Amino acid sequence: MKALALRRLAGTTVVLFVLACVPTFGQVAPQPAGIYADQNGTLEALSTAAYSGSEQSSNVVKANVAWTFRGVHSPLQLSSDRPRFLLVCGLGAPALAMLCGLGTGQPSDLIIVRLDEKSDHRESRMASAGMFGGHSGFDAKKTVTTTIVKRNDGGWDVVPTQDLKHGEYLITTGVNPQGFDFGIGGPQMEAAPNQTTAQPSANSSNQSAAREMLLKTINASFAKEGVAGYAEISGDKLTVHSERASEMRFHMLVANQKLVAMMREAGIATYLYTNDADQNFAYDLKAGKIIPPTASQATETK
């Protein structure tokens, strides 16, 4: 009996050791639904890839079909050749629903596809056909599989199975053009080499211009969508009033890296999103986290 108990204990020890060795990066407080990259210890949200349609090209012997995405480079450029991602499933963009298994909460098999960079867009060939047959799907030489591990906080660690070359990439299931984009070593990284000292913030004139552009962009989106709302800035606080304010939209907005970058460039410290009634949400841009409801209500009354 003692020998049997020792064997069971040894087996348990091995299992615990294996689980302890699963590669996960630091467990952090829950993030809004989305997918994030670990950029030197800081979580950076990925944006939905701006799919602009399919493009066909042909010659005498072959025809190709490619998915195209707006912009030559992704707004998020990473420094690591083996980036690590955090996937948080929940309400969000259709692309997130696809990655998370369409409501199952169990991520689909995710792949990372290298995009071809063109003069004004990025693309990935999806199908080709010739006189002697055809092929559908991504180019295997430009596709990398991922390892997905469940975290204690409910999120998922996603890591490519091999190093990525410098270039533009799409995280997707490959079923449709829905996905999130990022780059490795792109223009932003090349223009900003590693520095040990903090750089001075933008001067007041640049900040004023950034604030003007931020307000113009937000208010223009209201007009375009026919939604009653407006944005205003007071001190370092941006308040967006919208008749459609909801928790789901708020999480989508704070996961939008482009919007967050514009707010930071404009010197915004606190972002408030409200319908001026029962929907009130706040985000601390300096800390990079959502302010709890009770604290956000106190911030709003200041």
Question: Could you tell me the pLDDT band of residue 26, with boundaries at 50, 70 and 90?
Answer: low
Q: In this model, does residue 298 exceed pLDDT 60?
A: no
Which distant-in-sequence residues (6+ apart) come within 8 Å of 12 by Cβ? none
Q: What is the pLDDT of residue 247?
A: 86
Instruction: State the distance between the two ends of the chain, measured CA to CA, in whole angstroms.
Output: 69
Higher pLDDT pick, 60 / 224 = 224
Choose one of 123, 158, 189: the last residue of a domain: 189
- Residue 147 in domain: yes
On whether both 175 and 226 belong to a single domain, the answer is no
- Residue 11 in domain: no
The values of phi and psi at residue 206, to 5°, are -65, -40
Q: What is the pLDDT of residue 260?
A: 83
- Residue 18 in domain: no
List helix spans (H) across the chain: 2-20, 94-99, 187-191, 204-225, 247-254, 257-265, 293-301
On whether both 179 and 208 belong to a single domain, the answer is no
Residue range(s) defining the domain that contains residue 232: 204-301
Query: Taking a C-beta distance cutoff of 8 angstroms, is the pair 87, 28 a contact?
Result: no
Q: What is the pLDDT of residue 52?
A: 87
Q: Is the torsion defined by CA of 46, 50, 56, 59 positive or negative?
A: negative
On whether both 78 and 183 belong to a single domain, the answer is yes
Distance of CA 47 to the CA centre of its chain: 4
On whether both 220 and 282 belong to a single domain, the answer is yes
- Residue 198 in domain: no
On whether both 266 and 183 belong to a single domain, the answer is no
- Residue 9 in domain: no
- Residue 5 in domain: no
For 114-139, what is each residue's pLDDT tens digit? 999 988 889 988 754 443 344 456 78
On whether both 217 and 98 belong to a single domain, the answer is no
On whether both 114 and 240 belong to a single domain, the answer is no
Q: Report strand pairing: 42-45 vs 34-39.
A: antiparallel
d(CA 106, CA 248): 20
On whether both 43 and 134 belong to a single domain, the answer is yes
Choose one of 157, 189, 221: the last residue of a domain: 189
- Residue 259 in domain: yes
- Residue 54 in domain: yes
Q: What is the pLDDT of residue 110?
A: 93
On whether both 58 and 176 belong to a single domain, the answer is yes
Give the mean model confidence (pLDDT) for residues 144-155. 91
Question: Could you tell me the pLDDT band of residue 35, with boundaries at 50, 70 and 90?
Answer: very high
On whether both 261 and 139 belong to a single domain, the answer is no
Alpha-carbon Rg for the chain in angstroms: 23
Share the mean pLDDT of the chain: 77
Q: Token pair for residue 281?
A: 């949400």
Q: In this model, does residue 194 exceed pLDDT 70?
A: no
Q: What is the pLDDT of residue 254?
A: 79
Q: Report strand pairing: 77-78 vs 62-70.
A: unpaired
d(CA 202, CA 208): 10
Q: Which is nearest to 69 in space by CA: 54, 55, 56, 50? A: 50
Total domains present in the chain: 2
3-state secondary structure 140-203: HHHEEEEEEEECCCCCEEEEECCCCCCEEEEEECCCCCCEEEEEECCHHHHHCCCCCCCCCCCC
Question: Could you tell me the pLDDT band of residue 204, with boundaries at 50, 70 and 90?
Answer: low
On whether both 216 and 145 belong to a single domain, the answer is no
d(CA 253, CA 258): 10
Q: Report strand pairing: 270-274 vs 237-242.
A: parallel
On whether both 29 and 150 belong to a single domain, the answer is yes
Q: In this model, does residue 200 exceed pLDDT 50?
A: no
Distance of CA 100 to the CA centre of its chain: 13
